[in-house]
Chain A
């Protein structure tokens, strides 16, 4: 069974430093995740997420600041709505909605970042590889 491929979109002000902190603290977490920095989780468009699945990602994590704590005031409010709708669209298209997850990680939550990544990797590991789903 091939290892899962996961892409995480992390915002500059909370989640990316959070991931950085996990590294500074020498916390081990799943190596199957590659992080892409965006300025705000609100930048992650639905098209980008869908395209990520089409390019072969088994799971997509969108990580932003805690609700009400967004550096860009209300950027992540948009993300919440967008991801909720997108999960239903995925389900409709025959892709398990569990493959897309939105989580809040603040700049001080290195441990939380590692835990979320590990949990998500386990979830994805239990699913069929996306290549077979889309084939």
Chain B
């Protein structure tokens, strides 16, 4: 990320949102909202003094998945690029009460600016890559596992934070009351492969659950139970890793737990071991829920802005699963990563490389092949009513000297103008009235024979 930030040909617009995409492949015009961060980027050196002195210290940190705290002026995470903090308006005392402003007083560069407002930037680009990622499933939706109710039911991301050497516990796995757990249960498929939430398999959870089990074994003496439906360890070296964990003594139980209940200060996982055909009640100190991957909350809006389609599970739809895996229905807009479907890091890197290459090929060539199916106007028949001009979604039609003219580079060949024209003055090449008529007559004849 640092090298991306330092690259002379890459400009990062963080804390920004694309509001509008106009134009077409090679000539996109993009309107970006640069949200106010209340810190002037050109002045800030990222010294971090403001964060040290901010009096609002008890805000739950999103990065630490609610296990740690942060201040109101903060860096989202330690390695964030650019290294410029942002003020969280909803929790800042200056915005809440109109006084404080300690960060502004202390900043040696005078970079804090409470008057900053959202700005708009217009960009002209040739191609677009959409890589908006995923949202982690909210485990509290599965109430029978007690996430958010019982202290020691954690999401996989929370355990990940506990394991981080610079995380809230400095890398120690401890229960909320500070004990080292003697046994831990990991529950697979929380929010995936479940028709109540998401039908799809999130694909990465089996492997990250195995990784977590390995790290738990490494850091503690705890017994680890993995409750799974099917173990999906497809991928290079993955099955071998699964075998290794079996040798490390992780206990694998085939069966999705029914519920987690508290008992004597501990937690009991109730499940059926489908292989043994027996009901189990396993007492543990900590339950880890392997949360699945979901489309991002704003995926609908992003799809709308960039002209993308979404598949039934809500992830962005590629043009073709095999022949156009990074292309989309919009020419010049590519997708990569978990916004297209859940995938792990190696797959994401591979797909991102493919998407970048596809975009570069397009730009290097410098020209695109247009579809031959464009509208053609017959000047003699045109009455100049202008109905088609209004109907065209791409402003490809114009009235010139009382009759319509088509701009073939703008025309995408939808044929809405043809459907609208009362004088039959416009035809859509390859979908002319005669062609459709012949096709329809042929279809009806086929039906007659059948």
- Is B one of A's binding partners? yes
Flag if B440 contacts A39 (CB, 8 Å). Answer: no
Flag if B444 contacts A69 (CB, 8 Å). Answer: no
Flag if B317 contacts A51 (CB, 8 Å). Answer: no
Shortest B299–chain A CB gap in Å is: 13
Shortest A127–chain B CB gap in Å is: 16
Flag if B448 contacts A5 (CB, 8 Å). Answer: yes
Flag if B317 contacts A107 (CB, 8 Å). Answer: yes
Shortest A29–chain B CB gap in Å is: 14
For the complex, is B433 an interface residue (Cβ under 8 Å from A)?
yes
Flag if A43 contacts B415 (CB, 8 Å). Answer: yes
Given the contacts A43-B419, A48-B436, A34 and B311 also touching, CB distance less than 8 Å = no
Given the contacts A42-B416, A44-B419, A72-B416, A7 and B443 also touching, CB distance less than 8 Å = yes
**In which size bucket is the chain B interface?**
35 or more
A-B contact count (CB 8 A): 109
For the complex, is A88 an interface residue (Cβ under 8 Å from B)?
no
Residues facing A in B389-448 (CB within 8 A) are: 391, 393-394, 412-416, 418-421, 428, 431, 433, 436-437, 439-441, 443-444, 446-448
Q: Which of B304, B421, B437, B447 contacts A68 (CB 8 A)?
A: B304
Interface-central residue, B419, B436, B440, by most chain A CB under 10 Å? B419
- CB neighbours (8 Å) of B433 from chain A are 45, 47-48
What 0/1 pattern do residues 226 to 250 of B give for CB contact below 8 A with A? 0000000000000000000000000
Flag if A39 contacts B391 (CB, 8 Å). Answer: no
Residue of B nearest to A5 (CB): B447
Flag if A43 contacts B414 (CB, 8 Å). Answer: yes
For the complex, is B108 an interface residue (Cβ under 8 Å from A)?
no
For the complex, is A31 an interface residue (Cβ under 8 Å from B)?
yes
Shortest A45–chain B CB gap in Å is: 4
Shortest A61–chain B CB gap in Å is: 12
Flag if B443 contacts A36 (CB, 8 Å). Answer: yes
For the complex, is B312 an interface residue (Cβ under 8 Å from A)?
yes
Q: Which of B420, B443, B450 contacts A3 (CB 8 A)?
A: B450
CA of A19 to CA of B437, assembled, Å:
21
Flag if B447 contacts A39 (CB, 8 Å). Answer: no
- CB neighbours (8 Å) of B391 from chain A are 42, 78
CA of A107 to CA of B310, assembled, Å:
9
Flag if A55 contacts B444 (CB, 8 Å). Answer: yes
CA of A39 to CA of B450, assembled, Å:
27
Chain A's interface: helix, strand, loop or mixed, by majority? loop
Shortest A73–chain B CB gap in Å is: 4
Residues facing B in A100-120 (CB within 8 A) are: 106-109
For the complex, is B282 an interface residue (Cβ under 8 Å from A)?
no
For the complex, is B198 an interface residue (Cβ under 8 Å from A)?
no
Residue of A nearest to B330 (CB): A71
For the complex, is A56 an interface residue (Cβ under 8 Å from B)?
yes
For the complex, is B309 an interface residue (Cβ under 8 Å from A)?
yes
Flag if A75 contacts B416 (CB, 8 Å). Answer: yes
Residue of A nearest to B390 (CB): A78
Shortest A20–chain B CB gap in Å is: 11
Residue of A nearest to B439 (CB): A36
Flag if B307 contacts A73 (CB, 8 Å). Answer: yes
Pick 17 A–B contacts, CB within 8 A, sort by A: A34-B443, A38-B415, A45-B420, A45-B421, A47-B433, A48-B436, A48-B437, A52-B440, A55-B444, A65-B309, A69-B303, A69-B309, A71-B307, A72-B394, A75-B416, A106-B309, A107-B309
Residues on A lying within 8 angstroms of B by beta carbon are 3, 5-7, 13-14, 31-32, 34, 36, 38-40, 42-48, 51-52, 55-57, 65, 68-69, 71-75, 78-79, 82, 106-109
Given A32-B447, A75-B414, output 14 extra A-B contacts at Cβ < 8 Å.
A32-B450, A45-B418, A45-B421, A48-B433, A48-B440, A71-B329, A72-B412, A72-B414, A73-B307, A74-B393, A75-B393, A78-B420, A107-B311, A108-B317
Query: Which A-B residue pairs are the 8 nearest by beta carbons?
Result: A43-B415, A42-B416, A34-B443, A72-B414, A40-B414, A73-B393, A5-B447, A45-B419
